[in-house]
């Protein structure tokens, strides 16, 4: 199979104008100019996409597929109020509802050019939906719990469930990880013991960290809506929480959560330079979610500080519950503009953000040897973006054209491991109309 377009972006090398990529089975066989590839592989079937860009599939470093039905339901709220409302509305959903919601999320991810997800789920619905959809990724088993007396029971359930999830993921492009939710929902000893348990099983770890002023105030001062309204809502009002007097990052370090590395931290907007030094020391990777952070008033990540230290950073869309769309183009565009605005400079470029959405994201979850760039021998996770519209022509620089003019509606091909999941606005593995039909009644329920 030979795919050709006006531009091919290998990411690890400079763009190829009038380029092509050759795919054999599940792997990339070769990349070069169209003329070179046709002459070298004369028997390959050619698909020429014309005025388009071929690049690696997007790696979405933070998703919650199962929250997709909450799109627009909890809008225009600050983080703490949003979290409270989401928790209340989540109680109306059945197991079947969570499943249908996850399928809706998988549908949008594929149509948005996302080929790899790093998804946190409590219900496990994301595992089923992502597997059936054909996506690649890490499905993180989410744990919460502040009641010390219940920790042995939580650990027991965790061990059993994760074993079942690992078995269920066999034969797919998915692996299982572990996610203690956050410093305000996971008791210190549970954080400590569960992350140790995960490392003993070679599971990748992900946690929400330093994501809002509400979280910061809770950890350091023991005050705010999270310690009052939210804790009352989830039944932890009788549990004593002692203010730590330190930042969320320092707090996790003191409990040994970072020991051993291999952690993906989501958000990290409420951090100072000393916090970033800690994250760097333990080789913590960052899932940067600029639109969610801005929409919920959480803060703006100090991206320059992360990157100047050589930290691994990728792009995350979070979920439609907080972000409304799973659009990596919007994430790159708004993220870039925000950084330029707060730094009052043009140091960040479109190419920087495309890198974070592809190879940078792969590195953040230790998959850079398999995905994230178009290179011979790597997995054929490939997307094609149509760039023929009036607002995109002429396009002299494919990176700037992608970031400043494209959106999820411009995706015309999504491929994972050489298998087409989406082409010409149609799905291979998913029944779009059936998923949308089943999602509507759930939508009415949560509203």
pLDDT bin (cut points 50, 70, 90) of residue 74 is: very high
How far, in Å, CA of 294 to CA of 301, rounded?
A: 10
Distance of CA 376 to CAs 28, 206, 316, 379, 385, Å? 5, 30, 27, 9, 21
Give CA 419 to chain center in angstroms: 21
Percentage above 90 pLDDT, the chain: 94
**Structure confidence by residue, pLDDT tens digits, 134-166:** 999 999 999 999 999 999 999 999 999 999 999
pTM, to two decimals: 0.97
Given a cut of 80, whether residue 394 has pLDDT beyond it is: no
d(CA 80, CA 182): 13
**How far is residue 313 CA from its own chain's centroid?**
11
Q: Does residue 42 have a pLDDT over 90?
A: yes
The 3-class secondary structure across 195-242, one letter per residue, is: HHHHHHCCCCEEEEECCCHHHHHHHHHCCCCHHHHHHHHCCCCCCCCC
pLDDT tens digits, one per residue of 178-213: 999 999 999 999 999 999 999 999 999 999 999 999
Per-residue confidence at 82, pLDDT binned at 50, 70, 90? very high
- Per-residue pLDDT tens over the stretch 99-142: 999 999 999 999 999 999 999 999 999 999 999 999 999 999 99
Residue 228 to residue 280: CA distance in whole angstroms? 33
**Per-residue pLDDT, 332:** 98
Q: Sketch out the chain's domains with CATH numbers.
A: 2-56+380-429 (2.30.40.10), 58-364 (3.20.20.140)
**6 CB-contact burial (10 Å; exposed 0-12 / middle 13-18 / buried 19+):** buried
Q: What is the mean pLDDT of residues 392-403?
A: 88
pLDDT at 41: 97
Average pLDDT, the chain: 96
pLDDT band at 389 (very low <50, low <70, confident <90, very high): confident
């Amino acid at each position: 199979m030979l795919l050709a377009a006006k531009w091919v972006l290998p990411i690890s090398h400079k763009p190829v104008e009038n380029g092509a990529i050759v795919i054999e089975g599940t792997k990339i066989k070769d990349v070069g100019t169209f003329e070179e590839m046709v002459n070298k592989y004369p028997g390959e079937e050619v698909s020429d996409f014309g005025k388009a860009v071929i690049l690696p599939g997007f790696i979405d470093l933070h998703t919650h597929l199962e929250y997709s039905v909450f799109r627009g339901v909890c809008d225009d709220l600050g983080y703490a109020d949003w979290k409270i409302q989401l928790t209340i509305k989540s109680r109306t959903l059945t197991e079947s509802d969570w499943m249908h919601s996850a399928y809706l999320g998988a549908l949008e991810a594929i149509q948005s050019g996302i080929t790899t997800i790093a998804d946190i789920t409590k219900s496990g619905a994301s595992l089923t939906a992502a597997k059936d959809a054909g996506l690649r990724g890490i499905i993180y088993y989410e744990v919460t719990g502040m009641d010390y007396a219940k920790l042995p029971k939580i650990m027991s359930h965790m061990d059993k469930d994760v074993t079942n999830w690992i078995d269920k993921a066999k034969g797919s492009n998915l692996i299982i990880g572990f996610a203690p939710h956050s410093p305000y929902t996971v008791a210190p000893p549970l954080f400590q013991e569960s992350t140790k348990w995960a490392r003993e099983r070679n599971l990748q770890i992900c946690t929400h960290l330093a994501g809002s002023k509400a979280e910061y105030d809770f950890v350091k001062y023991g005050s705010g809506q999270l310690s009052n309204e939210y804790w009352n809502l989830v039944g932890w009002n009788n549990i004593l929480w002692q203010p730590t007097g330190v930042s969320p990052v320092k707090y996790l370090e003191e409990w040994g959560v970072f020991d051993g590395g291999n952690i993906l931290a989501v958000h990290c907007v409420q951090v100072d330079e000393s916090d970033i030094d800690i994250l760097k020391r333990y080789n913590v990777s960052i899932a940067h979610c600029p639109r969610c952070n801005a929409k919920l008033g959480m803060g703006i990540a100090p991206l320059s500080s992360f990157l100047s230290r050589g930290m691994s950073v990728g792009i995350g869309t979070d979920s439609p519950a907080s972000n409304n769309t799973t659009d990596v183009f919007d994430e790159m565009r708004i993220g870039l503009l925000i950084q330029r605005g707060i730094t009052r400079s043009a140091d960040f470029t479109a190419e920087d953000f495309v890198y974070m959405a592809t190879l940078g994201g792969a590195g953040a979850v230790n998959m850079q040897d398999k995905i994230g760039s178009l290179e011979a021998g790597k997995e054929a996770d490939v997307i094609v973006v149509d760039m023929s519209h009036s607002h995109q022509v002429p396009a002299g620089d494919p990176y700037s054209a992608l970031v400043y003019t494209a959106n999820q509606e411009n995706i015309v091909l999504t491929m994972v491991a050489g298998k087409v999941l989406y082409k010409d606005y149609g799905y291979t593995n998913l029944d779009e109309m059936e998923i949308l039909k089943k999602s509507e009644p759930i939508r009415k329920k949560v509203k």
